[in-house]
């Protein structure tokens, strides 16, 4: 049954010996001093649900009834109408007996806060599997995402979206409880179950996409988007880029958006589905050092001509990212070819492209009437992460040209550009770091540990990763970003936050080390494409 008291978190042996456990991980020191290997701790679900059987339920009811009688004797006659606290009948589910509290309060509606305490308010016995709660949990995680809520209302019974909810929720719960689970059998069982749900989700998506209208189904688009977020939970982004499922899913999002065309962008429903998916596609371009989809100008131009309230800042940031990814892809190509002449020829154009795009965003923020309502922290951080990427590549280009003797751009101009790039990167990095308390503060303070904080944490992973792995950010900024990423990985269960170790692109030495600077001053970004 759901725990209504405070279940012991002590290890198995300390609970059996009835001694105080120090809760050390992976094993407690009390067991070490006792001379045995610590057997580990109960899993998280055991702290939320307790198996029951008819005899234990009968004993529990008898104790509850006796306690109720004692309370009635101590109260005045006017208080005899109080509600009984006796648990409801137990129900069998897959061989496991679960007891629900009978206090008559309703289950939370989709999108409302859904925590373990909410499970104690069921007013009647329910014969149901845990998967019946996966949709409410995922809607709680994405409580601010209207497009997902609208789709689940329509496709609430079956289809790929429901399997995706089971996969995502099971992964989230597993990640949260994993630090206190040391049994290999339990971990293997979790992986088998997750593999089953992943297979069913992918199979349902593939089947749907075989239909000519499959790409036009909102539930299919939402499922692929959830799969991309699922890969962040399991931390697959650190694999080689061509094999990374996260990259494959984001490319799948692009393929579906391309197939759907522009007609859907003229409807409110199509627009709310477009933005989360397109933002994910743009992040993939930033991460992989590639350009945004070639259809981006058409899509964003149509949105600009038919702008909805609250879309202004999102539009301008998205336009900036398209320009930024174009600049970084061109510079990366020049550096890999070691083409000094072309680098000199395109140097000023690349700088002007990025500067003009940045100016457009700044002018919108300064002149747009009441634009603050649509400037949320997520889009600001996405903008500043693009600033970090774009100007770090301009920095690489300036470093590269310091080694080109015939270059018409003077050394003083190149060094001045390096200074500008360092300032831009570090200012952007500081904004991202400063936004951490607002984004993760309630969770860090212990005030809010509900699933909805997961979405806020997921949105912080890429910006913090950019701060952490780009060499031009300050050491203290990297340190703060690393601390926040570790917190997101361990406390929120987003494994990708623990998978952000920097690596180096295969770039020429001239780009990594400018002429005339000591090796210790090397500030180039150790960026990988995976």
Q: What is the pLDDT of residue 109?
A: 37
Same domain, 182 and 273: yes
User: Domain count of the chain?
Assistant: 3
- pLDDT category at 106 given cuts 50, 70, 90 is very low
- pLDDT category at 99 given cuts 50, 70, 90 is very low
- pLDDT category at 60 given cuts 50, 70, 90 is low
Same domain, 348 and 492: yes
Q: Is residue 169 part of a domain?
A: yes
- pLDDT category at 370 given cuts 50, 70, 90 is low
- pLDDT category at 367 given cuts 50, 70, 90 is confident
> Considering the chain, what is the average pLDDT of its residues?
78
Q: Is residue 52 part of a domain?
A: no
Q: Apex CA 499: angle with CA 493 and CA 504, to 5°?
A: 165
Distance between CA atoms of 517 and 49, rounded to whole angstroms?
Answer: 62
Q: Count H helices, E strands: the chain? A: 20, 2
Same domain, 266 and 179: yes
The tokens for 128 are: 């149901």
With b meaning 16 or more CB within 10 Å and e meaning fewer, what string describes 8-42?
Answer: eebbebbeeeeeebeeeeebbebbeeeeeebbbbb
H or E segment to which residue 30 belongs: helix 29-34
Domain residues for 20?
A: 9-42
Q: Is residue 401 part of a domain?
A: yes
Same domain, 282 and 313: no
The model carries a pTM of 0.73
Same domain, 352 and 470: yes
Q: Is residue 123 part of a domain?
A: no
Same domain, 276 and 326: no
Q: Is residue 49 part of a domain?
A: no
H or E segment to which residue 93 belongs: strand 90-93
Q: Is residue 68 part of a domain?
A: no
Same domain, 238 and 370: no
Whether the per-residue pLDDT at 271 is higher than 70: the answer is yes
Select from 257, 287, 317 the last residue of a domain: 287
Rounded CA Rg of the chain:
27
The tokens for 105 are: 């309060």
- pLDDT category at 299 given cuts 50, 70, 90 is very high
Average pLDDT over residues 518-523: 44
Whether the per-residue pLDDT at 483 is higher than 60: the answer is yes
Range from 52-66, 289-303, 443-457 carrying the lowest mean pLDDT: 52-66
Q: Is residue 162 part of a domain?
A: yes
Q: Is residue 79 part of a domain?
A: no
Distance between CA atoms of 491 and 485, rounded to whole angstroms?
Answer: 10
Range from 176-180, 331-335, 407-411, 485-489 carrying the lowest mean pLDDT: 176-180
Same domain, 398 and 260: no
Phi and psi at residue 49, to the nearest 5°: -120, 140
- pLDDT category at 504 given cuts 50, 70, 90 is low
The tokens for 476 are: 């203290």
Select from 256, 287, 318 the last residue of a domain: 287
Whether the per-residue pLDDT at 479 is higher than 80: the answer is yes
Same domain, 339 and 273: no
Same domain, 269 and 343: no
Distance between CA atoms of 475 and 463, rounded to whole angstroms?
Answer: 16
Same domain, 169 and 223: yes
Q: What is the pLDDT of residues 74-83, one digit of tens each?
A: 444 443 333 3
Distance between CA atoms of 39 and 26, rounded to whole angstroms?
Answer: 9
Same domain, 30 and 163: no
Q: What is the pLDDT of residues 135-147, one digit of tens each?
A: 888 888 887 787 7
Whether the per-residue pLDDT at 100 is higher than 50: the answer is no
CATH code of the domain in which 25 resides:
4.10.240.10
Distance between CA atoms of 101 and 99, rounded to whole angstroms?
Answer: 7
């Amino acid at each position: 049954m759901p725990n209504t008291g405070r279940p012991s978190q002590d290890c198995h042996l300390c609970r059996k010996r009835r001694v105080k456990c120090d809760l050390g991980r992976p094993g407690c020191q009390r067991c070490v001093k006792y001379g045995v290997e610590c057997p580990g701790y109960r899993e998280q679900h055991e702290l939320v649900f307790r198996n029951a059987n008819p005899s234990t339920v009968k004993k529990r009811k008898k104790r509850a009834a006796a306690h109720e009688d004692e309370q009635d004797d101590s109260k005045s006659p006017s208080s005899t109408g109080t509600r009984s606290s006796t648990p409801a009948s137990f129900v069998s589910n897959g061989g496991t007996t679960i007891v629900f509290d009978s206090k008559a309060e309703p289950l939370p509606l989709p999108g409302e806060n859904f925590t373990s305490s909410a499970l104690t308010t069921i007013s009647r016995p329910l014969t149901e599997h845990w998967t019946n709660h996966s949709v409410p949990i995922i809607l709680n995680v994405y409580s601010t995402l209207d497009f997902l809520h609208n789709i689940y209302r329509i496709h609430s019974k079956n289809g790929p979206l429901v399997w995706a909810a089971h996969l995502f929720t099971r992964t989230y719960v597993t990640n949260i409880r994993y630090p206190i689970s040391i049994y290999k059998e339990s971990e293997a069982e979790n992986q088998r179950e997750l593999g089953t749900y992943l297979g069913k989700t992918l199979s349902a998506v593939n089947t749907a996409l075989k239909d000519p209208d499959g790409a036009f189904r909102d539930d299919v688009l939402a499922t692929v988007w959830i799969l991309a977020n699922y890969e962040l939970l399991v931390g697959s982004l650190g694999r080689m880029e061509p094999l990374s499922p996260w990259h494959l899913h984001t490319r799948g999002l692009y393929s579906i958006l391309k197939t759907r065309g522009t007609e859907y962008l003229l409807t409110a429903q199509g627009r709310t589905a477009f933005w989360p998916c397109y933002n994910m596609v743009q992040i993939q371009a930033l991460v992989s050092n590639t350009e945004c989809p070639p259809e981006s100008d058409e899509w964003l131009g149509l949105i600009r001509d038919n702008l909805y309230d609250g879309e202004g800042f999102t539009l301008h940031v998205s336009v900036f990212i398209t320009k930024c990814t174009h600049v970084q892809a061109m510079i990366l190509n020049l550096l890999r070819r070691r083409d000094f002449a072309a680098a000199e020829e395109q140097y000023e154009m690349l700088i002007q492209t990025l500067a003009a795009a940045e100016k457009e965003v700044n002018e919108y923020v300064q002149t747009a009437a009441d634009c603050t309502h649509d400037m949320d922290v997520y889009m600001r951080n996405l903008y500043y992460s693009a600033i970090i990427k774009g100007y770090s590549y301009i920095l690489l280009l300036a470093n590269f040209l310091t080694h080109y003797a015939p270059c018409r751009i003077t050394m003083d101009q190149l060094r001045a550009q390096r200074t500008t790039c360092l300032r831009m990167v570090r200012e952007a990095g500081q904004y991202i770091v400063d936004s951490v308390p607002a984004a993760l503060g309630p969770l860090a303070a212990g005030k809010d540990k509900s699933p909805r904080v997961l979405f806020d944490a997921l949105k912080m992973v890429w910006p913090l990763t950019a701060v952490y792995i780009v060499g031009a950010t300050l050491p203290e900024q990297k340190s703060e970003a690393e601390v926040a990423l570790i917190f997101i990985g361990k406390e929120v269960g987003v494994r990708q936050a623990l998978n952000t170790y920097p690596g180096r692109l295969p770039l020429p030495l001239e780009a990594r080390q400018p002429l005339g600077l000591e090796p210790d001053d090397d500030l180039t970004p150790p960026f990988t494409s995976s």
